[in-house]
Structure 1
Amino acid sequence: MATPGPKVALVTGGSAGLGAAIARVLALDLGMSVTINYHGNAERANAFIQELQEAWRSRHGTDEAAAAAPVYRAIRADVSKREEIVRLVEETATGGGGRLDVVISNFGWTRLRNFSDLDDGVDEDDWDRCFEANVKAPLWLFHAAKRWLEEGNAREAGSAVFVSTASTAGCKPSGSSLVRLEVGPSVFRSCY
């Protein structure tokens, strides 16, 4: 039995930049209910949700299509922490009528450092946060969303989607705390 209502998407790091661009397409072009995740800037996240709502109304007016409008929400969570990811996914699915069809893992974190000064880049707390946010968090997010994505595929085969974005900082030396360790002659060449 199909779950009524529009498909539900979650976009981490979704209040600005690439995340916001993806959320716009999902919300306005594909008609999905979208939850964006943010960590620190509630004002920007709420303004973006309002922008999506206004754009939907301007495209669909006040007729029946507008009455059945997708739901747009912003949820604060630090997605470098596993328990926050689990909460974020559960709140998104619950708020989406018991479904989650699309997950975009877009969040990333770094602290810019002086790339030419090795001593500047040995802050262990920065390394740990960078590794948790950029390496472990997408795995935790996929694991937390797995049940919901499997249910989506049971409703409609091939409909569930999980996408993870990454920064070009993984291929170019740019002063990132994580890049400093990874960028060597062989890794650098493999990015091109």
Structure 2
Amino acid sequence: MTRKVALITGGSRGIGAAIARQLAEQGFDIALSFARNKVKANEVAEQISALGRKVALIQADGSTVEGNQLVVRETVKQLGRLDVLVCNAGIGNHKPITEVTSDDIDAVLNLNLRGMMIETSEAVKVMGEGGRIVLMGSAFAGRVPFGGLSVYAATKAGLRGFAQGVARDLGKKGITINVLEPGPIDTDLNPANTEDAQYLSSFVATGAYGQVNDIANAVGFLVSEKAGYITGIAMPVDGGLLA
């Protein structure tokens, strides 16, 4: 494979950064979008450059229509093409429904669901046969083990239906789309060594948090040629949370 390009949104830290490194190791040039943390984004860019791949950093607000259009447009402008889209940017919301406001709903919907829809619709305009789209969902789309997750879980469940519909639209064009559904993953925003983490781990078959590379490896497979006959699915990587 030569000169293929992958765009990872929300790629400056955690799962997104791990995915960027994995795809760079697989030979992709990388476009990386980030909202605020330019220092972290530059660190990831340096790691990708050290692997001999080109990298484009794109600062954008993923909660807006313009921001989601920008990341696709700048990817093609700076790197010449787009072969893989990994929609990773997202936010959480942990409030009981009695405390959720309309602003809470808008914020989570705009980034977690609408943003991914817009990015996908823009990306497929410039993708050719063999294109790959991966939407970052959550195991909470299939199981909500405790309260306070209603809005977040709804956005992630919405990705399942969206991916199924897009798979029908694009299947004969040779473009695949799938949802990857992580369980609890150890990151700086969701560390595995807290009391809350111990509680969540009790719902997982393995009894443990996963690592960012568990997700990156799964993405690496879904965007590879080996996964060309897989589309429209929701793939859990959750240590058995859904078991």
TM bucket normalised to smaller = 0.7 to 0.9
Determine which structure has more spread, i.e. the larger CA radius of gyration.
Answer: 1
Asked if 1:136 is matched to 2:132, the reply is no
Secondary structure in structure 2 of the residue aligned to 1:135: helix
2:87 to 90, 105, 113: 105
| 2:62 equivalent in structure 1 | 79
Verify: 1:88 aligned to 2:71, yes or no: yes
Note the C-alpha offset of 1:174. Answer: 5.4
Give 1:119 shift: 3.6
The Cα shift of 1:20 comes to 1.5
Residue 131 (structure 2) aligns with: 160
Give the AA of the match of 2:8.
V
Which residue of structure 2 aligns with residue 61 of structure 1?
none
Deviation at 1:111, TM superposition (A): 3.3
- 2:40 equivalent to 1:40: no
Q: Secondary structure at the match of 1:112?
A: coil
1:110–1:130 contact (8 Å) kept in structure 2: yes
**Separation in structure 2 between the aligned mates of residue 39 and residue 51 of structure 1, nearest angstrom:** 19
Letter in 1 for 2:133: F
Corresponding residue SS for 1:40: coil
Note the C-alpha offset of 1:181.
6.9
Distance 1:130 1:14 in 2: 18
CA contact (8 A) 2:7 2:32 kept: yes
Equivalent residues of 1:130, 1:177 under 8 A apart: no
Distance 1:25 1:126, change over 3 A: same
1:53 aligned partner:
49
State the 1:41 CA deviation.
0.8
CA contact (8 A) 1:92 1:100 kept: yes
Contact in 1 for aligned 2:86/2:135 (Cα 8 Å): yes
Q: Match for 1:9 among 6, 16, 30?
A: 6
Query: Do 2:6 and 2:82's aligned partners in 1 also have CA atoms closer than 8 Å?
Result: yes
TM-score normalised by length of structure 2? 0.58
Shift of 1:94: 1.0
Once residues 174 and 163 of structure 1 are traced to their aligned partners in structure 2, the CA distance between those partners, rounded to angstroms, is: 27
What SS does structure 1 have at the residue aligned with 2:137?
Answer: coil
Q: 2:151 aligns with which of 161, 178, 181?
A: 178
> Could you tell me how far 1:141 is from its partner in structure 2?
0.6
Q: 1:127 touches 1:177 (CA, 8 Å); kept in 2? A: no
Q: Which has the higher contact order (CA 8 A, sep 6+)?
A: 1
AA matched with 1:111: N
Structure in which a larger fraction of residues adopt helix: 1
**Any idea what SS the aligned residue of 2:21 has?**
helix
Q: Is the contact made by 2:88 and 2:135 (CA closer than 8 Å) also made in structure 1?
A: yes
How far apart are 1:14 and its partner, in Å?
A: 1.1
Query: Residues 48 and 54 of structure 2 are in contact (CA less than 8 Å); yes or no, is this contact kept in structure 1?
Result: no
User: Share of identical aligned residues, percent?
Assistant: 31
Query: Post-superposition shift, 1:6?
Result: 0.8
Report the CA distance shift for 1:174/1:133 in structure 2 as closer, same or farther (over 3 A): farther
1:147 aligns to what SS in structure 2? coil
Gapped regions of structure 1 (runs ≥ 5): 57-68, 154-158, 183-190
Counterpart of 1:127? 105
1:62 aligned partner: none
Letter in 1 for 2:31: T
Contact map agreement 1:110 1:177 (CA 8 A) in 2:
no
Does the aligned pair in 2 maintain the 1:11–1:34 contact within 8 Å? Answer: yes
CA shift for structure 1 position 175: 2.8
- Structure 2 unaligned runs (5+)? 156-241
